[in-house]
Amino acid sequence: MGLVGQGGKAQYPEGHALCFEYLARKFNNLREEAKKKPGKLDPAFRDWYTFAYHVGPRPLDKHQLDRINDSDNYRVGNVRWLHATRQNSNKRGNRHHLYRGRRFTDAELSTLLAKNFKDYSPEAIKKYRQRRAKEGFSNEDITREIFKRHGLPYESSGNPLEDADFSPKYYKKLSEAYRTSSSELTRIAFEIAWLEGKIITLKTDRQNEMDGLVTLNKEDSYKLLCRISDLEDDLQKARNRASKLGVQKIKQDIESTEPETDCGTLTKAMKQQIQWAEDAKTLSANL
């Protein structure tokens, strides 16, 4: 949709004032909601000029403002204009699968798996999801299992520390313990804490043996020492993995940081967007 006509003067289709009306209403509603839920609206978006500049004009009256990542707030880079029919299919109630910070419907997940040459129909995904949900599994656990069954790495948020799964050696045992614990720790942190707890318990048993509080035969005493040694090795590996993932997360944060825009070298598209924001600011005052 062109925004600039002859002579650089902004031109909009007939009836385009409805676009301003919708946008102004959306802006006011978001500001009201932000009073109850401060995290829903980015501070930068509480300014009308900034909001209108980054959101841009409404393409058609069938389009609605939507968040790309539904679990994130309304902020720069996380909003888009989405046709109402698509937005209805993307409602959180239908988007059961979280992958790389975005929620997918059963059909969308099927398409995503197909791109990796994995054939899994939406109907099969739905049946599997419903069956596992009845067994008490969360949506994230179900999606993680779907990826695991197809031999694909699962990433819920794009954060390496949050996406790291349990070590294969302890996967089955820790998966069940993690699911029933309602822990807020990441899986890697949960594994480290679990290993630390096991080592403390076994070292207590070893100390009790040395103090004569319990009696073990030579074979059981040797097995106890070996078990402690194995767990300490596994704990060190888990800590090293967490450290590497932490470094990876820092590198990602640095790479994803966008440099500040040089206002002296605005592109033509940006100038049009600024013109739109200025017109929106003027017209909204009369709504």
Q: What 8-state DSSP symbol labels residue 62?
A: T
Taking each helix axis from N to C end, the angle separating 187-210 and 218-256, rounded to the nearest 10 degrees, works out to 150
Spatial CA neighbour of 99 closest among 66, 172, 148: 148
Residue that has been written with the tokens 């009306």 in this structure: 21
C-alpha count within 13 angstroms, C-beta hemisphere, residue 65 = 24
Q: What 8-state DSSP symbol labels residue 79?
A: E
The mean-pLDDT minimum among 66-70, 137-141, 228-232, 253-257 falls in 253-257
- Does the pTM surpass 0.85? The reply is no
Q: What percent of the chain has pLDDT over 90?
A: 15
What integer is the mean pLDDT of 199-215?
91
Task: Give yes or no for residue 228 having a pLDDT over 90.
Answer: yes
Calpha distance 17→12 (Å, rounded): 9
pLDDT in tens, 18-37: 567 778 888 888 888 888 87
pLDDT in tens, 40-98: 788 888 888 888 888 877 777 777 888 777 667 888 878 888 766 555 555 555 667 87
Q: What is the distance in angstroms between the CA of the first residue and the CA of the last residue of the chain? A: 23
Residue that has been written with the tokens 């069938």 in this structure: 62
Q: What is the pLDDT of residue 94?
A: 66
Write down the mean pLDDT value for the chain. 76
Q: What 8-state DSSP symbol labels residue 263?
A: G
User: So where are the chain's domains?
Assistant: 1-85, 92-158, 160-256
Task: Give yes or no for residue 142 having a pLDDT over 90.
Answer: no
Q: What 8-state DSSP symbol labels residue 258?
A: P
